[in-house]
Structure 1
Amino acid sequence: MLGLLGKFGSTAAVLFGLVVGGAVAFAVLQLYDAFIDDPAVARVAREGFVAASEKLALQGQVEEMRRQFKLAEATAATDRARAEAANREADDAWKRYEAAVAADSGDDGCRVTDGDLEWLRQSRPAPHGSLP
């Protein structure tokens, strides 16, 4: 009978050793995973994420700068066209003024000479913001 109990006892001891060994191995692997493996994996994942997000942010900045540049170009072209139109209008108005002064033949006895017209042309103010 003792032989049978000895066999059961040794079998139970082996099974108990396997269960305890498995539990210890599981606990050790869990600790390794929590303190060594997971932080390393997370660090590598964050490194890739940081690089990708920085690249995406820089691409966004470049696209915004391009958009602002195109808008500034369009605005400058519009302003340039308006300035040229204003200069043409000022030239036309000045020529009409010169013609009106030259054509003045009022009864006041005052005559306009070529020297007066030349003085009038020289006294004309330079256009503001003139383009080269």
Structure 2
Amino acid sequence: MIPKIRWWKLKEPECRDTFIKSILVKLGTWDYEELDEGWERNSSILKIVVREALGMSTGTGPRDKEAWWWSNYVQEKIKIKRNAKKRHDEAGTEEDKERSRLVKKEAKVDVAQSKQRIRGEAEEMEGGIGEQRAKDH
């Protein structure tokens, strides 16, 4: 996905007020010789103000579409990983980077083990069903 402007934030009074005030301050009055020059200037100002006041989405879609079956332990590991990543993105220190990397590695291993365990259980169930069907016929 492509990052998008968070237009829905205009519903929040605080964001809306910030947006309006910023627009009024930055645009000033319309006294341009050339109409094209005015439109171009205002267009670039609007883009900048909108990004500042409303922010941009991350460009990622919904998460956890198939994570509902994970154990509480794995879900907690994923939560810790996301928090570590967020902290690294915000602070950007080497310590946070290293922590994020280690937590990500641990979570990856836990998810892989969980998937393997679930696949094994599913295969056992399918095998049992297949054997039962063979006995019935």
TM score, norm. by length of structure 1: 0.30
Q: TM-score when scaled to structure 2?
A: 0.29
Give 1 or 2: higher helix fraction.
1
Higher relative contact order (CA 8 A, sep 6+): 2
Larger gyration radius, structure 1 or structure 2: 1
